[in-house]
């Protein structure tokens, strides 16, 4: 499968700033080509690439005031390399986190999913979240977590993913959030999905069912959205203007929602 992905971000830097961008596909992708460019008022800006334990590639730039553009394009052929298991992840991703309050949701998860495990549990959680929430663009705040999402009964992809992660952790299944490029997604944007560790590997859970899971490309991996934001301001001030995301594949596979699927 050939996939072409990209992102273009524009913003105004109002105070000298240190910015962290997360828009490059993760390490391990079969890249045929790739380009990432940063410019301030039309002049090229150097970026430092930092790679974390999951292969997430962060790009740090330090700039003065002005109009900043960030542009990324990549062509990926075939599947990504299989991720090596980090044993401590099976502990880390069982713990509650800022946006995935699995401890608070433990009674709900116990009442709804007792007796289920493995792929049956993944199917049940995905279906339950997908039928309890309405996908409504702009309906949630950046600070909303899984509990508030469940109470509101609506959200966007990150809200669906947070609720899935929290419920799975509450049933003692390690789960984490992944930002991805998602060919077939409409409207096109960065997408967020959950990953759960069952049957000896990490598998995708996407209760939105808005794009085929096997066409997705990993960008960033973490506990929740606090670890996977496409832009983080470390210091300084910025006014955000535009974000354009592209993700296309030479063929979009059918997605059997009951099958185990791995990112790549």
Question: Could you state, in chain order, the average pLDDT of each consecutive group of 10 residues for the chain (264 residues)?
Answer: 97 98 96 97 98 95 98 95 90 98 98 96 97 94 96 97 98 98 96 97 97 97 97 96 97 90 93
Collapsing DSSP to helix, strand or coil, 50 comes out as: strand
Give the residues across from 203 on adjacent strands. 196
Q: What is the pLDDT of residue 257?
A: 85
115, 161 Cβ separation under 8 angstroms: no
State how far the Cα of 231 lies from the Cα of 8, in Å rounded to an integer. Answer: 12
Q: What is the pLDDT of residue 258?
A: 85
Q: What is the pLDDT of residue 233?
A: 96
Collapsing DSSP to helix, strand or coil, 137 comes out as: coil
Q: What is the pLDDT of residue 84?
A: 86
Query: From start to end of the chain, where are the E strands?
Result: 2-21, 31-40, 43-44, 48-51, 57-63, 66-77, 134-135, 154-155, 175-181, 191-198, 201-205, 217-222, 231-249
Q: What is the pLDDT of residue 149?
A: 98
89-179+194-223 — its CATH code?
3.10.620.30
Predicted TM-score (pTM) of this structure: 0.95
Residues 6+ apart with CB under 8 A from 130: 160, 207, 208, 209
Give the residues across from 201 on adjacent strands. 198
Look at strands 217-222 and 175-181 and give their pairing: antiparallel
State how far the Cα of 247 lies from the Cα of 217, in Å rounded to an integer. Answer: 9
């Amino acid at each position: 499968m050939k996939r072409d992905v990209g992102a273009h971000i524009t913003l105004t830097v109002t105070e000298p700033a240190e910015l962290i961008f997360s828009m490059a596909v993760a390490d391990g992708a079969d890249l045929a080509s790739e380009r990432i460019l940063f410019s301030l008022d039309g002049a090229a800006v150097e970026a430092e690439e930092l790679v974390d334990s999951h292969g997430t590639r962060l790009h740090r730039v330090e700039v003065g005031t002005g109009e900043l553009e960030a542009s990324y394009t990549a062509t990926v052929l075939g599947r990504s390399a299989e991720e090596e298991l980090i044993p401590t992840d099976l502990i880390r991703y069982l713990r509650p986190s800022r946006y995935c309050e699995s401890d608070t949701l433990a009674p709900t998860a116990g009442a709804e999913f007792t007796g289920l495990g493995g792929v049956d549990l993944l199917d049940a959680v995905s279906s339950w979240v997908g039928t309890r929430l309405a996908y409504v663009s702009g309906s949630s705040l950046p600070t909303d977590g899984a509990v508030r999402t469940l109470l509101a009964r609506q959200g966007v992809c990150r809200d669906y993913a947070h609720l899935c992660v929290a419920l799975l952790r509450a049933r003692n299944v390690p789960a984490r959030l992944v930002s991805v490029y998602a060919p077939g997604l409409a409207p096109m944007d960065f997408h967020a999905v959950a990953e759960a560790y069952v049957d000896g590997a990490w598998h995708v859970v996407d209760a939105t069912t808005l794009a085929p899971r096997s066409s997705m490309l990993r960008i960033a991996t973490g506990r929740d959205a606090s670890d996977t934001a496409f832009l983080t301001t470390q210091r300084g001030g910025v006014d955000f203007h535009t974000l354009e995301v592209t993700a296309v594949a030479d063929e979009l596979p059918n997605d059997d929602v009951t099958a185990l699927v791995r990112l790549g």
